[in-house]
Amino acid sequence: MCGIVGYAGHRQAADVVIEGLRRLEYRGYDSAGIAVVEDGKLRSAKRAGKLVNLVEALAEGAPLPGRVGVGHTRWATHGPPTDPNAHPHTDCNGHLAVVHNGIIENFAALRAEAAAAGHELASDTDTEVVAHLLEAEMAAADADGTQLARPGSLAEAMRRVCRRLEGAFTLVAVDIRDPGAVVGARRNSPLVIGCGEGENFLASDVAAFIAYTRRAVELGQDQVAEIRADGVTVTGFDGVPARVTGYRVDWDVSAAEKAGYEYFMLKEIAEQPRAIADTLLGRIGADGNLTLDEMRLPADELREIDKIVVVACGTAYHAGMIAKYAIEHWCRIPCEVELASEFRYRDPILTRSTLVIAISQSGETMDTLMAVRHAREQRSRVLAICNVNGSSIPRECDAVLYTRAGPEIAVASTKAFLTQLVGCYLVALYLAQLRGTKYGDEARDVVSQLAQMPNAVDVVLETMEPVRALARELASEGCVLFLGRHVGFPVALEGALKLKELAYMHAEGFAAGELKHGPIALIEGGLPVVVVVPSPGGREVLHDKIVSNIQEIRARGARVIVIAEEGDHEVKPYADTLIEVPHVPTLLQPLVTTVPLQVFACELATAKGHDVDQPRNLAKSVTVE
Ligand code: M6R
């Protein structure tokens, strides 16, 4: 949450910072702001609302020259999204500016201390106290009051301040008294250094600087980075120089562009066949065996696992729910799935033979990161299934399987979800391969079918026009329900989540069998109910049961929208609208049944005039608990 950019180099900092914020706006869009240092002066501008408001204000005002600057796009925590609460925040004298992502948990005490010391606080934010703490540290270091430029003074002040902070924070600051430097610090929230030629960058995500350099360094936990045009220095909060390892970003700037689509979400839905194919690439051998050595978990350890616990949030949690069906069926290992935000607070029973799987697109979700830390403290092995290379969650896990969806920019997760599913299937099938499984033939058959999934998703994408028409027709409805059984149940939850977050509409997903235990009271004449129907050729009993559930809701007047396998003649007579998907093995069905629900939500939200990529109140990476 919140996007941060810092720049020191030979270009106009304002241009680089605004362009970086444009690429990071998916992280929060409650307000945006910028500060640059030039000629001993700090100039800043900030506006509530989306980045466009700031850009318009800058176009009307005086230019912001300078080769050093910081910028911020906000997802509000402390204080409403107003101009005064927008970042950057400055000290009493306007010498320094700071931007922040995260929550400073001891801010109330620090704020009281700052106020008592005579500092004037102009916002409701937790961030502003940092500006005043930095002010105090800079003043203490400048005891003779000459305010001469002293390289390194801002970094030292930042280290001293960070040692006093509790909570999660990425901070980036500039100060006219150390004019060539941009200083960043990190605890529990992401910050990446971009290393260019005669210029360097700090950002929440490589997308902010990928147009200038692909060389990146992830700042580690409790570290401070000072960037200048000609160099980068990294230390711990204690001032001890830190060893850092860089990496090369393996995608280019075009992957983070809309490429002619109206929304990133439309592009990302369309990219799903490619994303699945990339995630499978090199992982299935010619002999049909899976090779996941990259996970770095020794086979002996994997054979000893007696329980698996999946932790994740939101859409990734739905992927985890589906993983449970696959893991228990193919591997015969008991598997629990838990919302990461609940996990550590209930004192879960974890041992050295428990494998915890953390699923996260961003690798930065704070709830999931905290669950990972808790599991590691209990000495369980932790495997990440993650989309962002080098992000916090995989860095803190014992092992990682990267999905290869490429950058996902729309807030609503689509291609990340399908590739998370593929990642989960691969892990489950690999465990089955290592340990031997009751359903060995089936597992081998599924491995070969996985390779067909990009085609199957392609076929679904080609037949989405009726789904779009249906979405437009239902745009004025107040509520839509989603039903499923078995792996169709998490798909129903995912369909409802997409509609809630994009169309701001009441939407609920239920296990179809639970309907009669309460939710059926919601059914009334004309209520749209989307039913995800399992394959008739898979587990027949499941199919028959859901056909009965359809009868029950039809009898009460629901408008039944069925997603079913092509050729399912049994369900056809009971569908007011039938959406057909290709036949695939039962456990893989979510790969094809989720796609119409993504398209449905996207089109319905568009018909309502919503910004599909930036739905209200949300942000892409949820870096607060
Ligand atoms: O980055 P993560 O996969 O950890 O994110 C988890 C959720 O915040 C995320 O899936 C969220 O639910 C999506 N906006 C749903 O579309």
Q: Output the CA 338–ligand 1 centroid distance in Å.
A: 14
Q: Output the CA 497–ligand 1 centroid distance in Å.
A: 10
pLDDT value of residue 542: 85
Describe the strand order of the beta sheet including 559-565 as a list of residue ranges: 506-511, 479-484, 528-532, 559-565, 577-581
Number of C-beta neighbours around residue 378 at 10 A:
17
HEC-encoded secondary structure of 333-395: CCEEEEEHHHHHHHCCCCCCCEEEEEEECCCCCHHHHHHHHHHHHCCCEEEEEECCCCCHHHH
Whose C-alpha lies nearest to ligand 1, atom 12?
314
Domain that holds residue 570: 459-625
Cβ 314 under 6 angstroms from ligand 1: yes
Mean pLDDT of 491-519: 96
Cα 227 to Cα 35, 185, 194, 603, distances in angstroms: 16, 11, 10, 44
pLDDT value of residue 538: 64
The answer on pLDDT for 440 being more than 80 is no
Cβ 614 under 6 angstroms from ligand 1: no
Cβ 622 under 6 angstroms from ligand 1: yes
pLDDT value of residue 144: 62
Number of C-beta neighbours around residue 84 at 10 A:
15
Q: pLDDT digits over 136-185, tens only? A: 999 887 766 555 557 789 999 999 999 999 998 999 999 999 999 999 99
Please list the alpha-helical segments (H only) found in 220-313. Answer: 264-270, 272-280, 299-304
Give CA–CA dist 128/112, Å, rounded.
12
Q: Output the CA 457–ligand 1 centroid distance in Å.
A: 21
Mean pLDDT of 431-444: 83
Q: Output the CA 152–ligand 1 centroid distance in Å.
A: 38
Label residue 191 by pLDDT band (50, 70, 90).
very high
Label residue 537 by pLDDT band (50, 70, 90).
confident
Cβ-based burial of 380 (10 A; exposed 0-12, middle 13-18, buried ≥19): buried
Residue 613's CATH number = 3.40.50.10490
Question: How open is the CA angle 150-151-156, to the nearest 5 degrees?
Answer: 95
Q: Which amino acid is at 460?
A: V
Q: Output the CA 450–ligand 1 centroid distance in Å.
A: 24
- Cβ–Cβ < 8 Å for 51, 21: yes
Whose C-alpha lies nearest to ligand 1, atom 11?
314
Cβ 411 under 6 angstroms from ligand 1: yes
Q: Output the CA 148–ligand 1 centroid distance in Å.
A: 47
Residue 172 shares a structural domain with residue 188: yes
Cα 218 to Cα 2, 94, 163, 190, 195, distances in angstroms: 17, 30, 20, 8, 11
- Cβ–Cβ < 8 Å for 239, 198: no
pLDDT value of residue 146: 58
Residue 238 shares a structural domain with residue 265: no
DSSP string, 587-616: GGTHHHHHHHHHHHHHHHHHHTT--SSS-T
Whose C-alpha lies nearest to ligand 1, atom 4?
360
With the most atoms of ligand 1 within 8 angstroms of its CB, the residue from 263, 313, 415, 494 to mutate is: 313
Q: pLDDT digits over 240-258, tens only? A: 999 998 999 988 888 888 8
Residue 308 shares a structural domain with residue 424: yes
Identify the residue whose tokens are 């629990």. Answer: 336
Cβ 412 under 6 angstroms from ligand 1: yes
Cβ 594 under 6 angstroms from ligand 1: no
Residue 375 shares a structural domain with residue 292: yes
Residue 238's CATH number = 3.60.20.10
Residue 444 shares a structural domain with residue 329: yes
Cβ 403 under 6 angstroms from ligand 1: no
Which of 195, 229, 253 is the last residue before a domain boundary?
Answer: 253
Atom of ligand 1 minimally distant from the CA of 314? 12
Label residue 459 by pLDDT band (50, 70, 90).
very high
Give CA–CA dist 474/478, Å, rounded.
9
Mean pLDDT of 451-465: 97
Tally of domains in the chain: 3
Contacts of 500 (CB under 8 A, 6+ apart): 506, 507
Containing 431, the helix (H) or strand (E) segment is helix 415-435
Cβ 365 under 6 angstroms from ligand 1: yes
Positions annotated as catalytic residues are 2, 620
Which of 253, 280, 311 is the last residue before a domain boundary?
Answer: 253
Residue 194 shares a structural domain with residue 235: yes
Residue 218 shares a structural domain with residue 200: yes
Average pLDDT score over the chain: 94
Mean pLDDT of 50-55: 96
pLDDT value of residue 133: 96
Give this prediction's pTM: 0.88
Residue 380 shares a structural domain with residue 289: yes
CA-based R_g, the chain, Å: 26
Whose C-alpha lies nearest to ligand 1, atom 10?
315
Q: Output the CA 617–ligand 1 centroid distance in Å.
A: 14
pLDDT value of residue 539: 65
Q: What are phi and psi of 100, to 5 degrees?
A: -150, 145
pLDDT value of residue 436: 84
Label residue 286 by pLDDT band (50, 70, 90).
confident
Give CA–CA dist 267/622, Å, rounded.
22
Cβ 388 under 6 angstroms from ligand 1: no
Segment among 161-175, 366-380, 442-456, 581-595 with least mean pLDDT: 442-456
SS3 544: helix
Cβ 429 under 6 angstroms from ligand 1: no
With the most atoms of ligand 1 within 8 angstroms of its CB, the residue from 1, 315, 341, 402 to mutate is: 315
DSSP string, 476-526: T-SEEEEEESTTHHHHHHHHHHHHHHHH--EEEEEEGGGGGGTGGGG--TT
Whose C-alpha lies nearest to ligand 1, atom 16?
412
Containing 17, the helix (H) or strand (E) segment is helix 13-24
Which residues sit opposite 234 in a β-bridge? 225
Cβ 413 under 6 angstroms from ligand 1: yes
Cα 65 to Cα 182, 196, 251, 412, distances in angstroms: 16, 21, 31, 36
The answer on pLDDT for 314 being more than 80 is yes
Atom of ligand 1 minimally distant from the CA of 365? 4
Cβ 313 under 6 angstroms from ligand 1: yes
Atom of ligand 1 minimally distant from the CA of 417? 10
Cα 396 to Cα 169, 230, 318, 386, 441, distances in angstroms: 17, 31, 23, 12, 36
Give CA–CA dist 590/321, Å, rounded.
11
Mean pLDDT of 292-299: 84
Give CA–CA dist 182/228, Å, rounded.
7
Contacts of 170 (CB under 8 A, 6+ apart): 2, 4, 100, 101, 102, 184, 185, 186, 187, 189, 190, 191, 204
Q: Output the CA 4–ligand 1 centroid distance in Å.
A: 20
Mean pLDDT of 357-383: 96
Residue 412 shares a structural domain with residue 508: no
Q: pLDDT digits over 538-591, tens only? A: 666 789 899 999 999 999 999 999 999 999 999 999 999 999 999 999 999 999
Cα 340 to Cα 157, 209, 220, 370, 486, distances in angstroms: 35, 31, 22, 8, 22
With the most atoms of ligand 1 within 8 angstroms of its CB, the residue from 75, 365, 600 to mutate is: 365
Q: Output the CA 531–ligand 1 centroid distance in Å.
A: 23
SS3 237: coil
pLDDT value of residue 149: 56
Cβ 361 under 6 angstroms from ligand 1: yes
Q: Output the CA 480–ligand 1 centroid distance in Å.
A: 21
SS3 446: helix
Mean pLDDT of 451-460: 97
Residue 405 shares a structural domain with residue 516: no
Which of 253, 275, 310 is the last residue before a domain boundary?
Answer: 253
Quote the tokens at residue 104.
Answer: 């400073």
Question: How open is the CA angle 159-162-165, to the nearest 5 degrees?
Answer: 165
Question: How open is the CA angle 336-340-343, to the nearest 5 degrees?
Answer: 65
Cβ 602 under 6 angstroms from ligand 1: no
Atom of ligand 1 minimally distant from the CA of 313? 6
Residue 37 shares a structural domain with residue 184: yes
Give CA–CA dist 435/431, Å, rounded.
6
Q: pLDDT digits over 70-111, tens only? A: 999 999 888 999 999 999 999 999 999 999 999 999 999 999
Mean pLDDT of 30-40: 95
Q: Output the CA 317–ligand 1 centroid distance in Å.
A: 8
pLDDT value of residue 147: 55
Residue 422 shares a structural domain with residue 488: no
Cβ 362 under 6 angstroms from ligand 1: yes
β-strands 335-339, 381-386: how paired? unpaired
Number of C-beta neighbours around residue 307 at 10 A:
16
Mean pLDDT of 352-361: 97
